[in-house]
Each structure stands twice: as structure tokens, then as C-alpha cells.
Amino acid sequence: MTSPEGFSRGVIDVGVDLREGYADVGGATLHYVEAGDGPLVVLLHGFPEFWYGWRLQIAPLVQAGLRVVAPDLRGYNLSSGPEDFAEYTADKLAADIHGLIRERGAESALVVGHDWGGSVAWTLAMLHPDAVDRLVILNAAHPRRLNEGLRNPRQLERSWYFFYFQPMNEPERHARRDDWKFFKRFLRDARPPYTEQELAHYVEAWSQPTAVTSMINYYRAAVRLGSKQEIRPVSAPTLVIWGERDRYLGRKLAEPHHEDVPNLDRVERLPNASHWVHHDEAEHVNELLVGFLTPAGAGQRNR
């Protein structure tokens, strides 16, 4: 695999020094960046991002006393990507993160996930409950809620790209055209808009040799294979943060069923944020994360 030397140090400045490495987690080799010391928090990005999607969260979490690990999910950016779309089911993606937590020397972690990273986080918390101390979900529906939502014609319309990505090869060709215009359009609702420099980092990540097919394979696996694991209650205390201007997920999908998430702290709705809530309202999101994930933050919240 091409060395990432200089890719995430110096070229990408997130406000703190980053350590980076690779973790062999069995089914894949995950590239990650790491910063800080203290309790471990794992940040899981969504489509079409990579670890860089958390650039505005890493420093505040480190300054709050946490050790941040932000991986590239299986197949994204510098992480390895199996060719077979069947290798991208939610249980295998969750097993990657379970392995990453262990590889980084911990038995459990605070886990934060957005979009596909949120789906992985939900599955990790269901299948490996001892590995998740606290869970934060940003604009990612609980699996039961998503399955219910997809029975609604309006949500099916919102989720059109799940089905657009099903043919082999043509979606990849479309994605690469016109300097990745198609993938960039998924980010268009962000306010403030992504800068040219930020988009250049995304283009570099999308341009890694196997990345585009791996990214699309998440959707092929979801539609063709569905969810094979049993839905189990999430025991970890859970916070849901939801940008209400989400183009892709309806507002009703924010609320998980009580029996599925009995320790739900709350659903925090941000009315002016898009699907890219951690970008749009980074300061607010960071306050919520620190308040929920750290003892000091919890103490301030409860005053």
C-alpha cells in the first residue's frame, strides 16, 4: 500500500499533532489517525468522507482529555478494500472496529458515528456491547427505523442512490467523471460550503486505487444482502445528534424505538444543520460530544 507519509501530517492541519498508523483487524487493514491521551474515543465517518470528516472534532476532544482514533473505514482512502461486495456487510464492518479498539490497546471505547459510520456504530453496539462505553450517533437511523422508513415512498425517494449504485462498474465511471462532480454533489448542502482545499483532500481520498468501488460496495451489500444480524437492544448510554435539514434521511428516522435503545439520553435536533451536521455546526456538536463523553462535561451539563 502506498505510504501515507505527509498525507495527514502537515498537509492536513487539524489543530493538534496526529499520529498515524495501520491496524490489521483480520478482514481488513485499517488506516487511522490518532491524537491525545486518556479514554479512547473512536470516530467513524460516513459516505463519501474519510477520517478527515472529523477534522473539526479531533482537537476539541483531545483538549477535553480524550484519546481520539479516527480510522478510514474498510475500503476508504488508505484502508484496504476487499473486491467482493459481500465483504461490506454491517457485521463485518463492526468487527473491524471491534478489532481496532483491541489493537489500540483497549477493551472498550466511546464510539461516535456519522452516516455509514453511524450504521457501523449501531451494529457494533448491538453485536459487541462490551466494547462500547457510550455511543453518539449523528444522522444515522437505527437499523429498525431505517427498515421502517424505506417502506415509505418519500424515504425511498430520498434514498435513491442506494439503488443507483447497484450495477457494477457504471457507477464508478460516473463518480470519476468531471473531477468527481457526482460525489461532490453529495456534500452540496453543507453550510458553510466545503472549500476547494477541503474538496481537494476528498478527491485525493476518492482517487486511491480501490476506494471508489469499495465505497459503492457498502450500498451493494446493503441492498443485495440486507441485514443478516439480529437486532438486539443497545445497552450503552446513547446520544443522537440530528441535523434537521438532512436531504437523505427524514426527521422521523432520528428517534429509535425505546426497546431498541433503552438507555437513550436524548435526541438533540439541530434545526439549521444539514446531513453534514458535524461540519455545519461544529462548535455546537463539539459541546454536545464533550458534554456527553467526558465526566467533566457531564458535570457541567448537570449543574
What is the pTM for the complete model shown? 0.95
How high is the pLDDT of residue 227?
65
- Whether the pLDDT of residue 291 is over 90: the answer is yes
Surface-to-core class of residue 119, CB atoms within 10 Å of its CB (0-12 exposed, 13-18 middle, 19+ buried): buried
Task: Give strand pairing partners of 87.
Answer: none
| Residue 76 bears catalytic tag | no
- Whether the pLDDT of residue 5 is over 50: the answer is no
- 3's grid cell: 505510504
Query: Which candidate, 91, 86, 22, places its Cα nearest to that of 219?
Result: 86
Q: Kindly name the residue from 115, 189, 246, 280 that is annotated as catalytic.
A: 115
Which CATH architecture fits 19-296? 3-Layer(aba) Sandwich (3.40)
pLDDT tens per residue, range 262-285: 999 999 999 999 999 999 999 999
pLDDT tens per residue, range 125-151: 999 999 999 999 999 999 999 999 999
Are the CB atoms for 32 and 18 separated by under 8 Å? no
Question: Strand 40-44 and strand 264-274: pairing?
Answer: unpaired
| Residue 202 bears catalytic tag | no
pLDDT tens per residue, range 80-114: 999 999 999 999 999 999 999 999 999 999 999 99
CA angle 39, 42, 40 (to 5 degrees): 10
- Taking the C-alpha atoms of residue 28 and residue 129, their distance in angstroms, rounded to an integer, is 22
How high is the pLDDT of residue 297?
61
- 57's grid cell: 472534532
**Sequence spans of domains, the chain:** 19-296
Q: Kindly name the residue from 128, 275, 278, 279 that is annotated as catalytic.
A: 275
| Residue 194 bears catalytic tag | no
- Whether the pLDDT of residue 4 is over 70: the answer is no
Residue 195, CB-side half-sphere exposure with 13 Å CA sphere: 2
Q: Kindly name the residue from 76, 218, 219, 248 that is annotated as catalytic.
A: 219
Instruction: Looking at 186-247, list the stretches that DSSP marks H as alpha helix, in order from N- to C-terminal side.
Output: 196-206, 211-225
- Taking the C-alpha atoms of residue 223 and residue 217, their distance in angstroms, rounded to an integer, is 10
- 93's grid cell: 464492518
Are the CB atoms for 104 and 35 separated by under 8 Å? no
How high is the pLDDT of residue 263?
98
- What mean pLDDT do residues 64-88 have? 97
36 conformational bin, left if phi > 0, alpha if psi -120 to 50, beta if neither? left
